[in-house]
Structure 1
Amino acid sequence: MNIQDIREQFPILHQEVNGHPLVYLDSAATSQKPLKVIEALDQYYREYNSNVHRGVHTLGTRATDGYEGARDKVKNFINAKAREEIIFTRGTTTALNLVASSYARTNVKEGDEIVITYMEHHSNIIPWQQVAKATGATLKYIPLQEDGTISLKDAEDTITENTKIVSIMQVSNVLGTMNPIKEIASIAHRKGAIMVVDGAQSAPHMKVDVQDLDCDFFAFSGHKMGGPTGIGALYGKKALLENMEPIEFGGEMIDFVGLQESTWKELPWKFEGGTPIIAGAIGLGAAIDFLQEVGLDNILEHEHKLAKYAMEKMSTVEGLTIFGPKERAGLVTFNIDDVHPHDVATVLDAEGIAVRAGHHCAQPLMKWLNVSATARASFYLYNTEEEIDKLVAALVKTKEYFSNVF
């Protein structure tokens, strides 16, 4: 892949911030958008803005074709077995909450167990806390190894015959840990549990095959993979989705409405009440087209090289601590001794460098790391080694500045 050709497709990157060329290292929070996506959104609103499914006029037909065509693109992108297994949602958070509110509250009871890990994003913790409170189930955590990875033995020991749901992120948004989802799913199924996967940090960066993983549900967001905000998808095995009740009721998702009783449409529409996120789905479809043109294998290889290069260079900064395993996805989370991560991010911003600082919606993991917050540089297909060099130079400058201040 030609990185300069790719960068030309992202207009936002060609600007200065605080008098410096923008170095955007916050793609784990949200990625920038290629022209292909921007133009797809513009074309929808300019040329065929209309509601879907209901109308038979030309604009409605074009909108429906665009919306349902995007569903087919998602289905192929993650290798689902059927298009009915793809539910459009607002994003990963909504998708995980759908599983918790519909599947879990019906199938989990007192004495059952739900298993997650200490590294989970709050979106993959709080829904299960609420299920546990509502049903009397027990929420359990697979312990982490010293480097922030999961041992399959610990997974085997934590998941028991009483476990009904295992829900784990495929890639950590803090540690960069790439979890052995396929092996954990096998353990879960052998013990009678289902496997839920938070794919927010994996789907944008690597090939995902839900049939090969044999996960029961898989959730991801469009805005982290070059798509618009407010759109994502939930994959669920058809047999599970068919036995689940919708959690939003209204237009679009109904079959027949009587005075006292109503029935629902078939999959996938029974879970998509109201006017759907039409433009978002079309934009997500365009993002998938773009990523597949570049090649997910190429993206993963590029990000691995960037992560390795960043860790080598950042390790030379005195007093800088890197969190997470040696083998990781394309992000580096770190702290500098005696400098608060927010101060680090503020100084970097003055140099035109955008990083994330805080607890990254992972407070239990921060407690496990024995820190209150961290800074994070995350990479995507448009980042370069030269940008990492600028980051390292700015980190040295940050360290020197606060050493002189205090």
Structure 2
Amino acid sequence: MIKKLLSNYLQHFRDFSLEVKILAIATFINRCGAMVVPFLSKYMLEELHFTYSQIGWVMVFFGVGSFIGTWISGKLSDKIGFYKVMIFSLFTTGILFILLQFLTTFYSFCFGVLLLTTVSDMYRPAMLVSLDTYATKENRTRALSLVRSAVNLGFMFGPVIGGIIITVLDYNFLFYIDGLTCMLSILIFYIYIKEKKLPYKLKVFKHLKDTNSVFDDKPFLIHLLVTLITGILFFQIFTTLSLYYKEVFNFSSFQGALFLALNGVLILLFELPIVKYVETNKINKLMVVSYGVLAMSVAYLFLLIEGNVFTLILMMLLMTVGMMFTFPFANSFVKKRSLKNHEGKFMAVFTMSYSIAQIISTKTGMEIIGNYGYKANWIFLSALGLIGFVIAYRLVYIVKKEKEILKGKIVQSLFADSK
């Protein structure tokens, strides 16, 4: 029975190209080493003795750097190709991670984080564009889920290892490990994956012309708003929630990391099967996204019940379900609406919405906690998520109507041609 279940699970991985598998392995190594990020707020509070407001501002620079990096990546990926952007980003990020530990003042740390995230987040849009080359059209969404699973598997091991290192040694070792794993991951990528171009032209979608701007696509803009809200809900897992574990439940770094590990395990086990099920049964992906946002919204309501570890587990379970329903299909929607020769711009703008979410999420969360407490923050996030669900649900019908209009135009043009 177990052997059959394992065989069925591994079946989800077998039809990917070697390049996609190597990309997933390199991403896993990189994310496994990225153990500084989940502890960054805690590091600033305990080691650098920053105030909540200062931590919030540092995370604002974290988001600003991410915004700049994704914008640059979108431009460069369309001009010089994703391959060179990925190589430069990860190698330079490795160096910057090692240097970050030597910046201990508030202003220098803000600058260091800004530079670090600008370079590191050049990787994401380029990597998303690379899947158009290395994955087939049929398994592109699942290839994205595979890479996301690699990310989450890395986050599963990384925080646990990071928590142990902090407890046994100190924070400085995290920066060295982070830097070296960035370099190792890109070395593996460079050795096993060679640069190549798309073997065919991407389809031109009829809702936009090639001369149109990304921002002329109204459903895409609505989707960006949903993505922004989703990002605000998501990023607080790594910032305010990690502080909540420490200050309200008095968890150690290792104990707090176990909740992130739970998130990673669940995504590794269930995301790919969920994506395959949705695609095989032709379930409306935007509808799945809307339910994912709702799940993330409800998850924060469990945190209103204080003093119960079981509610923390339920919160993370529901948050993980929301992430599995939301992230892979949100990316898929953007890819389908991307114009030929502008894939980098579409993916960059999409990724930049997460960068803006990162800026808003941490600063807003820290300010609410500092002035009104944790409960007020959880209520705010839950209400915001409910708004996101309503918008996402409405988008389903906007896109459906758009398709009906396009079909009508096609039929009209056929009759016009026959005259």
**TM-score range normalised by the length of the shorter chain:** under 0.3
Quick one: higher RCO (CA 8 Å, sep 6+), 1 or 2?
Answer: 2
TM-score by length of 2: 0.27
TM-score by length of 1: 0.27
Structure (1 or 2) with the greater helix fraction: 2
Structure (1 or 2) with the greater strand fraction: 1
